[in-house]
Amino acid sequence: MGVITDFVRQVASILPEVEKPKIKPVLTNRLLWTAVAVTVYLIMAQVPLYGVASGADDQMSYTAIIFASSQGTLMTLGIGPIVTAGLILQLLKGADIIHLDFKKPDDRALFSAGTKILALIVTFAEAVAFMIGGSFGQNLPFSTAATIIIQIMFAGLIVILLDELIQKGWGLGSGISLFIAAGVSQTIFWSVFALIPAGSTYFGIIPHAISTLLSSSPESILLRPGGLPSLVTLFLTISILGLIVYAEGIRIEIPITSTKYRGFQGTYPIKLLYVSVLPVILTGALLANLTFFSQIVWSRFNPANSSTILNLFAQFNTADPSAGPIGGFAYYVSPPRGIEVLSVEPLRAITYVLFYVVACTIFARVWVEIGGLGSKAVATKLLGANVQVPGFRRSEGSLEVLLDRYIPVITIIGGILMGLLASISDILGVFGGGTGILLMVSIFINYYQLLMKERLESMMPGLASFLGKG
- In this prediction, residues 205-221 reach a mean pLDDT of 74
* Mean local confidence (pLDDT), 33-46: 90
Q: Looking at the predicted structure, is the pLDDT value of residue 441 above 70?
A: yes
For 373-427, how does the pLDDT look when each residue is reduced to its tens digit (9 = 90+)?
888 888 888 887 777 788 777 777 888 888 888 889 999 999 999 999 988 888 8
Most confident residue range from 42-46, 55-59, 63-67, 368-372: 42-46
- pLDDT score of 466: 43
pLDDT of amino acid 102: 67
Question: Where are the chain's structural domains?
Answer: 2-172, 231-282+348-439
Q: What does pTM read for this prediction?
A: 0.75
pLDDT confidence of residue 219: 59
Residues 389, 404: Cα–Cα separation, whole Å: 14
pLDDT given at position 416: 93
pLDDT at 465 over 50: no
pLDDT for residue 452: 81
Query: Are 2-172 and 231-282+348-439 in the same CATH fold?
Result: yes
Strand ranges of the sheet holding 265-271, from the earlier edge strand across to the other edge = 265-271, 251-258, 387-388
Confirm if 348 and 342 have CB atoms less than 8 A apart: no
pLDDT digits (tens, 9 = 90+) for 157-209: 999 999 889 888 888 888 888 888 888 888 888 888 888 887 777 888 888 88
- Give the model's confidence band at 61: pLDDT under 50 very low, under 70 low, under 90 confident, else very high: low
Cα 350 to Cα 146, 207, 346, distances in angstroms: 43, 34, 6
Q: Which of the residue ranges 147-151, 309-313, 390-394 has the most confident prediction, judged by mean pLDDT?
A: 147-151
Fold of 231-282+348-439: Preprotein translocase SecY subunit (1.10.3370)
**155 confidence band (pLDDT: 50, 70, 90):** very high
Residues near 439 by beta carbon (within 8 Å), at least 6 away in sequence: 65, 66, 177, 180, 181, 184, 277, 280, 281
pLDDT-derived band at 470 (thresholds 50, 70, 90) equals very low
Using CA atoms, how far apart are residues 257 and 336, in angstroms rounded to an integer? 50
pLDDT at 31 over 70: yes
Alpha helix stretches (DSSP H) within 45-174: 80-94, 105-133, 142-167
Three-state DSSP class for 2?
Answer: helix
Q: Among the listed ranges 105-109, 145-149, 274-278, 311-315, which one has the minimum average pLDDT value?
A: 105-109
Tell me which DSSP letter residue 345 carries: -
Over residues 328-351, mean pLDDT: 83
CATH class of 2-172: mainly alpha
How many Å apart are CA 336 and CA 315, to the nearest integer?
16
Is pLDDT at 152 greater than 90 in this prediction? Answer: yes
Task: Compute CA distances 166 → 44, 202, 276, 292, 458, whole Å.
Answer: 17, 37, 21, 31, 18
